[in-house]
Amino acid sequence: MSAGARAIGAPIDRLDGALKVRGAATYAYEWRLDHPAYLYPLQAEIAAGRITRIETGAATAVPGVLAVLTHENAPGRPPPPLRMAANRKDPEVAVLQSDEIAFRGQFVGGVIAETFEIARHAAGLVRLEYEAREPDVELRADRDDLRKPRNAAFFGAGGGELQDGSPADTAVGDVDAALAAAAVTLDATYATPTYHHNPMEPHTAVALWTDDGLTLYCSSQGVHEARNLLASAFELDPARIRLISPHVGGGFGSKVYPSTYLALAALAAQLVPGRPVKLALTRQQMFSLVGYRPASIQRIRLGAEIGGRLTAIAHDVVQQTAKLKGYAEQVAACTRTMYAAPNRRTTHRVAALDLPVPTIMRAPGEATGMFALESAMDEMAIACGLDPIEFRIRNEPEVDPESGQPFSSRHLVACLREGARRFGWAPRDPMPRARRERGWRVGTGVAAAIYPSRRLPGNAATIRLGTDGRYTVMIGAADIGTGAWTVLTQIAADALRVAVDDVELRIGDTALPLASSAGFSTGTNCWGTAIFAAADKLRATLQSEYGGTVPAEGLEVSSDIPDNPDMARYAMYSFGAQFAEVRVHEDTGELRVSRLLGVFDAGRIINPKTARSQLLGGMIWGLSMALHEHSVIDARFGHVVNHDLAEYLIPTNADVRSIEVRWLDEDDRHVNPMGSKGLGELGIVGTAAAIANAVHHATGIRVRDLPITLDKLL
């Protein structure tokens, strides 16, 4: 590509592709360090209570065992450098600091040995005795101890009641009066189960202490955020902790906050000074140690006039959280912005249980909330005698109903219309069970998608221009499969007005400038804007101070992310329309999603190739949510029963049939200088509802509790 050509918008191949197709990209566990030791974790065998006795003799006696780590000998009290904070800021991350057990599977120690096989064998020889309490792990809407969430934003770091910083409850107008007066009403309850992220790469780390401090080679969606969590939990100077994570084998939210495995590896490495300690969670361990999407029970009430104008929307959410640490996601937040009903109310309540700590998972809140809202919208369209697309169009707001602000861009109606055209929606007979093909009932469904374009604090970029004319762009960002390696290079090339080949990107290291985590679909927005600002500054500095000639020592500039005053003036969201066709076998209830189409409004697309993949992936997550995923929690013992990939089902290649992604040609410069909006999470939003709506169309059966398994269709 010649200099000056536009890299943004070009479908260029992933720059990390040649490494990844050979298996040569270095993931955390693959760093080659001399003389490593292996750590195998010990996990609590009760869900609530305390440890009364630990017998490590048999394990210690195994040749090759170097140490057995438990709360009794864990560094952290008091010898530095891993010293416990006087005020524990994060009770989850500060592992092994007491005898208390908060959930089944919690870390209670680990065995460090010369080899993985020895460590694993010896871990089985450690005996623990407990004083157990009866665990309380069942989420029900009729519990008498439901409470309003508090201080849940970004795990307490951001204030606010919900994880996104928004209030738990909102109310506009008089919902009860409007519902009482409405010509058409709906009152329905929807439920979503617990889900686990299950990135293909397990959570792994190699921890090494030297005189300079702690180095962790790890698998992280945000090295700076993880470093700060560890530093805070153990009262360590952040400057003495370095996290390195250039390649991440998927995260989906599970590699942002859950940092207990990093803490365990760091503690273990203290016991074997000078030796790197390797820790890889097993697939089974990942079901209790790295977060999950909490189950939800959602009651939705809608009221409408004859003709289909909504007069009232109420969305009341009950979700689970952990006793150990609070978490509450913004399940009903989308309902505040989607439709123009004059009377609206949303509430969120949590049940604190003896379960592991939930965390963000792809579109946390929006994914589950929009399943309920968009299912309810389908039910209400039918009740009003309207086509579900037409019903949504009639309730399209002019401005953000909650804030009264204009949208920076909102093309939901255009997505619905373009999708209807491509999908062949027009001839649809709205009657359920109308279409049969060779023993299969066929149905189609539609749902809307929304995802906020947020900006996270704490981003800066540095660009160095060498005398060879090459640019090194540095920011502690992460590529978890999003395409950040490629997309950020494209952004830098255009911002610097040079060719992609002239730019070398460095990410995934706390030694690089501060970056927010890969989450909330903010990566391109935050990191890209920081890079844009640094590029502007570099070009200006080169002209004003050096007359355009690179000085002999090269030139390096840094820039924080500039303020965006439009964020206070506009409501910023991506939108989309999801279409699904399903086939349900008349005799067996077997359910196949034969077609999926998503049409999206995500602003300017930086790289059509990687963007398409992200949206496809999100839609497959929605399909998975609709049909496959369900973490079954044993009410007696508090563990996930189906804790492996044979029992916790995710889609295989054969589960995904025709799937198509389109987007509108848009450009939203209110959001950022690239004109892009977030799309990493948009694809999952609404997909499960579109499929559930299609299942209703095919069968006449309305499934309000996910997943839609065949027993619910017989």
Partner 1 sequence: MDVPITLRVDGSEHRLTIDTRTTLLDALREHLGITSPKKGCDHGQCGTCTILLDGRRVLGCLALAVAHQGAEIVTAAGLAEGDELHPLQKAFIEYDGFQCGYCTPGQIVSAVGMLQEAAAGWPSAASADLDADDVVLDEDEIRERMSGNLCRCGAYAGIVAAIAAVAR
Catalytic residue numbers, as ranges: 681
**Minimum Å distance from CB 658 to partner 1?**
9
Q: Which of 160, 246, 598, 617 binds partner 1 (CB under 8 A)?
A: 617
Q: Which tokens go with 21?
A: 């197709």
User: Under the criterion CB under 8 A, does residue 35 sit at the interface with partner 1?
Assistant: no
Rounded to whole angstroms, the Cα distance separating 466 from 443 reads 60
**Minimum Å distance from CB 197 to partner 1?**
8
Q: Which of 2, 34, 654, 711 binds partner 1 (CB under 8 A)?
A: 654
Rounded to whole angstroms, the Cα distance separating 368 from 366 reads 6
User: Under the criterion CB under 8 A, does residue 34 sit at the interface with partner 1?
Assistant: no
Give the neighbor-by-neighbor strand order of the sheet with 204-210: 65-70, 107-113, 37-43, 277-280, 204-210, 213-218, 241-244
Comparing CB distances to partner 1, the nearer of 182 and 706 is 706
User: Under the criterion CB under 8 A, does residue 605 sit at the interface with partner 1?
Assistant: no
Reference 303, options 216, 451, 416, 186; nearest CA is 186
How many Å separate Cα 601 from the centre of its chain? 20
User: Under the criterion CB under 8 A, does residue 652 sit at the interface with partner 1?
Assistant: yes
Site for partner 1 in 141-170 (CB under 8 A): none
Rounded to whole angstroms, the Cα distance separating 446 from 420 reads 9
Q: Which tokens go with 136?
A: 């309380």
What is the DSSP secondary structure assignment for residue 307, as one 8-state letter?
Answer: T
Rounded to whole angstroms, the Cα distance separating 253 from 621 reads 13
Q: Which of 1, 9, 10, 30 binds partner 1 (CB under 8 A)?
A: 30
C-alpha dihedral, 514 to 516 to 521 to 522, nearest 10°: -60
User: Under the criterion CB under 8 A, does residue 33 sit at the interface with partner 1?
Assistant: no
Comparing CB distances to partner 1, the nearer of 191 and 616 is 616
**Minimum Å distance from CB 22 to partner 1?**
5
Rounded to whole angstroms, the Cα distance separating 538 from 115 reads 50
User: Under the criterion CB under 8 A, does residue 524 sit at the interface with partner 1?
Assistant: no
Q: Which stretch binds partner 1 (CB under 8 A): 142-150, 276-284, 317-325, 445-453?
A: 276-284
C-alpha dihedral, 403 to 407 to 413 to 414, nearest 10°: -170
User: Under the criterion CB under 8 A, does residue 610 sit at the interface with partner 1?
Assistant: yes
User: Under the criterion CB under 8 A, does residue 17 sit at the interface with partner 1?
Assistant: yes
Rounded to whole angstroms, the Cα distance separating 11 from 250 reads 22
Q: Which stretch binds partner 1 (CB under 8 A): 338-346, 389-397, 408-416, 607-615?
A: 607-615
Rounded to whole angstroms, the Cα distance separating 485 from 473 reads 11
Rounded to whole angstroms, the Cα distance separating 615 from 544 reads 42
Q: Which stretch binds partner 1 (CB under 8 A): 96-104, 170-178, 425-433, 639-647?
A: 639-647
**Minimum Å distance from CB 260 to partner 1?**
20
Reference 96, options 74, 113, 114, 116; nearest CA is 74
Q: Which tokens go with 564?
A: 């965006």
In order, the DSSP letters of 399-442 are: S-TTT-PPBS---HHHHHHHHHHHHT-TT---STT-EEETTEEE
**Minimum Å distance from CB 205 to partner 1?**
14
Q: State the first-to-last Cα distance of the chain, in angstroms, to the nearest integer.
A: 58
User: Under the criterion CB under 8 A, does residue 13 sit at the interface with partner 1?
Assistant: yes
Q: Which of 91, 213, 250, 342 binds partner 1 (CB under 8 A)?
A: 250
Q: How many residues bind partner 1 (CB under 8 A)?
A: 61
Comparing CB distances to partner 1, the nearer of 423 and 532 is 423
Comparing CB distances to partner 1, the nearer of 382 and 619 is 619
User: Under the criterion CB under 8 A, does residue 218 sit at the interface with partner 1?
Assistant: no
Tell me the three state secondary structure of residue 533.
helix
**Minimum Å distance from CB 647 to partner 1?**
9
Comparing CB distances to partner 1, the nearer of 552 and 654 is 654
Neighbours of 632 (CB within 10 A): 14
Reference 687, options 637, 594, 635, 619; nearest CA is 619
Tell me the three state secondary structure of residue 485.
helix
Q: Which residues contact 124 (CB under 8 A, 6 or more apart)?
A: none
Q: Which stretch binds partner 1 (CB under 8 A): 18-26, 442-450, 629-637, 685-693?
A: 18-26
Question: Among the residues of 497-643, which ranges form H helices?
Answer: 523-546, 608-627
User: Under the criterion CB under 8 A, does residue 407 sit at the interface with partner 1?
Assistant: no
User: Under the criterion CB under 8 A, does residue 116 sit at the interface with partner 1?
Assistant: yes
Reference 532, options 497, 503, 491; nearest CA is 491
What is the DSSP secondary structure assignment for residue 673, as one 8-state letter?
Answer: T
Comparing CB distances to partner 1, the nearer of 173 and 250 is 250
Quick one: the chain helix, strand, coil %, rounded to 5? Answer: 25, 25, 50
Q: Which tokens go with 458?
A: 């704490």
Find out whether 278 and 28 touch, Cβ atoms under 8 Å.
Answer: no
Q: What is the largest CA-CA distance in the chain?
A: 79
Comparing CB distances to partner 1, the nearer of 19 and 393 is 19
Q: Which of 252, 440, 451, 600 binds partner 1 (CB under 8 A)?
A: 252
User: Under the criterion CB under 8 A, does residue 620 sit at the interface with partner 1?
Assistant: yes
Residue 47 main-chain phi, psi, to 5 deg: -95, -20
Q: Which of 3, 5, 21, 171 binds partner 1 (CB under 8 A)?
A: 21
Q: Which of 5, 24, 180, 641 binds partner 1 (CB under 8 A)?
A: 24
Give the x/- contact pattern for partner 1 in 655-684, rule: CB under 8 A: xx--x-------------------------
User: Under the criterion CB under 8 A, does residue 585 sit at the interface with partner 1?
Assistant: no
Q: Which stretch binds partner 1 (CB under 8 A): 8-16, 54-62, 543-551, 664-672?
A: 8-16
Q: Which stretch binds partner 1 (CB under 8 A): 160-168, 429-437, 481-489, 583-591?
A: 481-489
Site for partner 1 in 421-450 (CB under 8 A): none
User: Under the criterion CB under 8 A, does residue 287 sit at the interface with partner 1?
Assistant: no
User: Under the criterion CB under 8 A, does residue 588 sit at the interface with partner 1?
Assistant: no
Give the x/- contact pattern for partner 1 in 72-111, rule: CB under 8 A: ----------------------------------------
Q: How far is CA 423 from CA 405, 513, 600, 612, in A?
A: 33, 45, 14, 18
Q: Which tokens go with 381?
A: 């369209």
User: Under the criterion CB under 8 A, does residue 402 sit at the interface with partner 1?
Assistant: no
Q: Which stretch binds partner 1 (CB under 8 A): 14-22, 51-59, 102-110, 490-498?
A: 14-22
User: Under the criterion CB under 8 A, does residue 621 sit at the interface with partner 1?
Assistant: yes
Rg (alpha carbons) of the chain, rounded to whole number: 26
Binding site for partner 1 (CB under 8 A): 13-14, 16-27, 29-30, 32, 115-118, 121, 198-202, 247-250, 252, 280, 282-283, 480-483, 609-610, 612-614, 616-621, 644-646, 650-656, 659
